[in-house]
Amino acid sequence: MLIGSVEAGGTKFVCAVGDENYRVQERIVFATTTPAATLAKTIAFFKPFKLAALGIASFGPLEIRKNAVNYGFITNTPKPGWQDTDFVGPLKAALKVPITWTTDVNGSAYGEYVMANLSNAHLKSLVYYTIGTGVGAGTVIDGQLLGSLGHPEMGHVFVKRHPDDLKFAGICPFHGDCLEGLVAGPTFEARTEHPGKDVPLSALVWDIMADYVAQAAMQTTLTIRPDKIVFGGGVVSEPFLVKVRAAFNRLLNHYIELPPLDDYLVMPLMADNGSATLGNFALGLKALKE
């Protein structure tokens, strides 16, 4: 049995075909250009395969309500040319297979959840944050993705401003200094005129951002109480998470009992953002069973 996966990013598409054991058989990466050209390349890649199902995890915002007239659309995205794009419709018409449709970060969350349980972690719940060009999070509880009216937008919550960061307005075009506006990758250049890779970990900006990420992790911990919170994306590294754990420990102040923070606030199990591909395979298989 073959399952397809589309990880649709604002910069690139990663398409893969795998089996029911999540083993990748074929994979292709190409640039995200116009909707027509990019979706045509996607269909052309999958056409030679006899797929049983397809899982799509895309940049958004998305319409995920199946009873909505624009179900399967990318909606008011800031990605030029992709606003109000019917994504699922053309693929369904061309490939004629069941399709699951969710956000890129939900795909990663589901992949990490499945991978953890394949490793006998026995998780009931998991939250996955990506911190890169943008910020988002996906939540899995008992094998189900959180969100019915729409997908969560946990990257756009507000956090308490750090006393050494009060003059920074934030970069989110919708909310200014929401979480994404304060910790997404482009905030480094907005604050320091240097990309994050060129800013030493000893710089104060890393401590400021760790404080904001720790606040988000604390909010998630106190509202959802997940078994684990995973952090991926280009901004995140293990040394950065050391700072996040220290800030989280200080903020939470031992209010509730948690696992050791080295096991609770962690990097992804899957390298090179493989979480989304595995998650799409698993969601495709889940759709077949349902």
pLDDT tens by residue, 122-134: 899 999 999 988 8
| 3-state class (DSSP) for residue 50 | coil
Give residue 19's pLDDT.
Answer: 95
Longest CA–CA span in the chain (Å) reads 57
Tell me how far apart the alpha carbons of residues 132 and 234 are, in angstroms, rounded to a whole number. Answer: 5
Predicted structure pTM score:
0.92
CB 178 within 8 A of CB 155: yes
Tell me how far apart the alpha carbons of residues 122 and 104 are, in angstroms, rounded to a whole number. Answer: 24
Question: Minimal CA–CA distance to 31: which of 46, 44, 43, 41?
Answer: 41
Give residue 60's pLDDT.
Answer: 87
Question: Minimal CA–CA distance to 267: which of 249, 251, 252, 245?
Answer: 245
More confident residue, 181 or 148: 181
Residue with tokens 């969710």: 102
More confident residue, 97 or 271: 97
Give residue 270's pLDDT.
Answer: 82
pLDDT tens by residue, 198-256: 999 999 999 999 999 999 999 999 999 999 999 999 899 999 999 999 999 999 999 99
Average pLDDT over residues 139-145: 94
Delineate the domains of the chain, giving CATH numbers in brackets: 2-104+272-289 (3.30.420.40), 120-268 (3.30.420.40)
76: its two tokens:
């008011």
| 3-state class (DSSP) for residue 122 | coil
pLDDT reading at 28 higher than 80: yes
pLDDT reading at 43 higher than 90: yes
Average pLDDT over residues 61-86: 93
**Per-residue CA distances from 124 to 115, 168, 220, 287 (Å):** 13, 38, 15, 20
Give residue 26's pLDDT.
Answer: 96
pLDDT band at 18 (very low <50, low <70, confident <90, very high): very high
Where would I find the beta strands (DSSP E) of the chain? 2-8, 12-19, 24-31, 51-58, 73-74, 85-86, 99-103, 125-131, 135-141, 144-145, 229-232, 265-266
pLDDT reading at 272 higher than 90: no
